Amino acid sequence: MGFCSFYGFVAVIICLICVLYLRNRAPRKDEKLKKLKGKVVLITGASSGLGKACCFEFRKYVCKVVLCSRNLEELKRVQKQLEDTYPLPPEEEGNASLVHKLDVADIDTVAENIRNVAALCGNRIDILVNNAGIGNKESALSSIVEVFKQVLQVNLLGSIATTKAVLPHMVSQGSGHIVGIGSIQSKVAIPFRSAYSASKHGAHGFYDSLRPEVHQYNIKVTTVNPGYINTNISKNALKADGTKYRRTENEYLTGMTPEFVAESVVNSVVKGWSENTVAPILYKYVPALGFLFPGVLLYFLQRRAAQHKQGTRKVD
């Protein structure tokens, strides 16, 4: 390689690093405020965990947050905390939050619910965060089919139904942003999570297919794939017989805070990222390593499954 081409090569590498840095750096607060102020943000599963934290994070930038879940009493409690934490000046009162009871698993009622909510927001929904979700524990062999039905109904079909109900509003307003909360398990299926992994892989495929379809309407699609977060997901996960697990193991307790992940959700919306993996380095690169070395990944997953069977592994 000649002298000039060597320096040319170095310059190209430096440019690439700069582009990557600028693209991936977290946006500044003023950038976020400029982009988000006054936007209508509908969040499913807003009564707890990550959904609740997203409500606070979007409200920080003066969004009009619509909190949805099945538990209206809990939503009202969260709404009160939200309004107390971030009081609006009189000129911003139009951006006060709303609560709406929405069971995303009740597929046939989702469209009408979304129409009613949109009517209360001037027929606008700028950002949809499909966050509502439930997990499953225990083996595919022992789990009743009802477990698969429930998990897929909430995590996959519920997200699809909500997205489909919101899309016509975004198309007619000429812009919008759909956020799908996935998981590391959208990319790597681990043992004893067959229903959850299937739902997250399925939703990931849905969003990947949707992204190029809706680009022409100026609608963005972002998938956020977190690792373990300290929330109620483990307590609410379904056991093989369909009852709740009601326990939270160390992985979650020592996991990321919902607030940390919520900040990353907002950053990915502001930056327009297609995908954002939010996890410690060990988990972050498991999908890529698994792609490069599928046999090695399978070995670790088989070992994990065997430890579970022998009872030497604490997490189910």
Ligand X SMILES: CCCCCCCCCCCCCCCC(=O)OCC(=O)COP(=O)(O)O
Active site residues: 196
Partner from ligand X, ligand NDP, none binding residue 176, C-beta < 5-8 Å depending on class: none
Cα–Cα distance measured from residue 288 to residue 122, given in angstroms and rounded to the nearest whole number: 43
Q: Under the criterion CB under 6 A, does residue 181 sit at the interface with ligand NDP?
A: yes
Cα–Cα distance measured from residue 102 to residue 97, given in angstroms and rounded to the nearest whole number: 15
Which of these ranges, 46-54, 168-176, 204-212, 282-290, lies near ligand NDP under the rule CB under 6 A? 46-54
Measure the N-to-C terminal CA separation of the chain; round to a whole number of Å: 56
Q: Under the criterion CB under 6 A, does residue 291 sit at the interface with ligand X?
A: no
- One-letter amino acid at 8 equals G
Site string for ligand X, 83-122 (x = CB under 6 A): ----------------------------------------
Partner from ligand NDP, ligand X, none binding residue 188, C-beta < 5-8 Å depending on class: ligand X
Shortest reach from residue 112's CB to ligand X, in Å: 30
Q: Under the criterion CB under 6 A, does residue 185 sit at the interface with ligand X?
A: yes
- Name the token pair of 299: 């070995």
Q: Under the criterion CB under 6 A, does residue 297 sit at the interface with ligand X?
A: yes
Cα–Cα distance measured from residue 192 to residue 189, given in angstroms and rounded to the nearest whole number: 9
Determine which residue in the list 40, 104, 114, 269 makes contact with ligand NDP, applying CB under 6 A. 104
Determine which residue in the list 112, 293, 309, 314 makes contact with ligand X, applying CB under 6 A. 293
Cα–Cα distance measured from residue 166 to residue 161, given in angstroms and rounded to the nearest whole number: 9
Q: Under the criterion CB under 6 A, does residue 180 sit at the interface with ligand NDP?
A: no
Determine which residue in the list 74, 92, 249, 259 makes contact with ligand NDP, applying CB under 6 A. 74
Helix axis angle, 29-36 to 258-271, nearest 10°:
70
Report the interface residues with ligand X, using CB under 6 A: 135, 183-185, 188, 190, 193, 196, 227-228, 233-234, 237, 283, 286, 289-290, 293, 296-297, 300-301
Report the interface residues with ligand NDP, using CB under 6 A: 44-45, 47-51, 69-71, 74, 102-105, 131-134, 154, 181, 183, 226, 228-229, 231-233, 236, 252, 255
